[in-house]
Amino acid sequence: MENEKVQEEKTAEQLEDTRFTISSEDSYIEAAVARFKLEPAIAKSHNTAQRKYNTFCKNRNASLYTTFYNLDVVGGAPDFKNTTFVQEFKACAPFPGRTNLRPVSGMAKKGSIMHGLVRFNYKGNIIEECRKNGKEHGLRVTCTQMGDIWIRLYSNGKRLAQIVLSPGYSIAEMPRPIDDGGLKDLMSHLDLILECFGVVSTNN
C-alpha cells in the first residue's frame, strides 16, 4: 500500500510537470484525463451517477475527445497553448448566469475560463465536457442520478445533436435523439462512448 501511495504521488508530480512541457493539442487532453483518473470522485454527486462516472473515467482516454473535435461539423480543437489544468475554479456551468456559478475542475485559461476538458457536479449529476473560450465545444457526457447517460455534441456553444442512453445503455425512446446538424456524426461514433462504459458494440 505504501508503494502504491508513493507511486500515485510521483504520478501527480509528473502530471504537474507536463503543464510546462506539453507540445501538442492531444497532450493537453491526455494530461487532463490522467488527472481526472487519479481522482474520479466528485463531491456531492449522487451515488448512481458516481458509479457510472467511475466506469467511464477509468476507460475513456484522450482520443475520445479528439475524435469528436476533429469532426468537420465541430470544427477542430481549440488552441490550448495558454491553457493550464486547475484543480478547482468557479465558473458558470452548465448554463451561463451567476445562479449557475459552481466549482469546476479541468482545463482553463486565465484561471477561470473553461477551455478544454472540464468536469463538475450539477444537481447530483456528473458532467464531463469540452469547452472553448467558456462555450460548449465538442463532446459532453452526463452521468445522471437516474442512471441515464445524456450525450451531446456542440460546436462553439451551438448544440448539434443529443442522444440519451437508458440505464441499460440502449438509446432511449424518450427523449428522442435530437438532430441539429450533427446526429449522424454522433451516432457514427457512439460505439466509442459505449466502450467507455464497458459496453461492446455489436455493430460492424
pLDDT tens figures, 69-82:
999 999 999 999 89
Rounded to the nearest integer, the mean pLDDT of the chain is 89
- Average pLDDT (11-29) is 53
Which of the 8 DSSP states describes residue 171?
A: B
User: Coil, helix or strand for 197?
Assistant: coil
Distance (Å, rounded) from C-alpha 52 to C-alpha 55?
6
Q: Which residue has the higher pLDDT, 24 or 112?
A: 112
Q: What pLDDT, on a 0 to 100 scale, did the predictor assign at position 4?
A: 44
Q: What pLDDT, on a 0 to 100 scale, did the predictor assign at position 24?
A: 57
Query: Which 3-state string (H, E, C) describes 172-185?
Result: CCCCCCEECCCHHH
Q: What pLDDT, on a 0 to 100 scale, did the predictor assign at position 200?
A: 83
Q: Which residue has the cell 472540464?
A: 118
What confidence category does residue 203 fall into, taking pLDDT thresholds of 50, 70 and 90?
A: low
- Average pLDDT (98-104) is 97
Q: Does pLDDT of 162 surpass 60? A: yes
Query: Cell numbers of 182, please?
Result: 450533427
Query: Cell numbers of 169, please?
Result: 445503455
Q: Does pLDDT of 6 surpass 60? A: no
What confidence category does residue 58 fall into, taking pLDDT thresholds of 50, 70 and 90?
A: very high
End-to-end CA distance of the chain: 43
Distance (Å, rounded) from C-alpha 160 to C-alpha 5?
43
* CB 93 within 8 Å of CB 118: yes
CA-closest candidate to residue 115, choices 98, 137, 99: 137
Beta-bridge partners for 139: 153
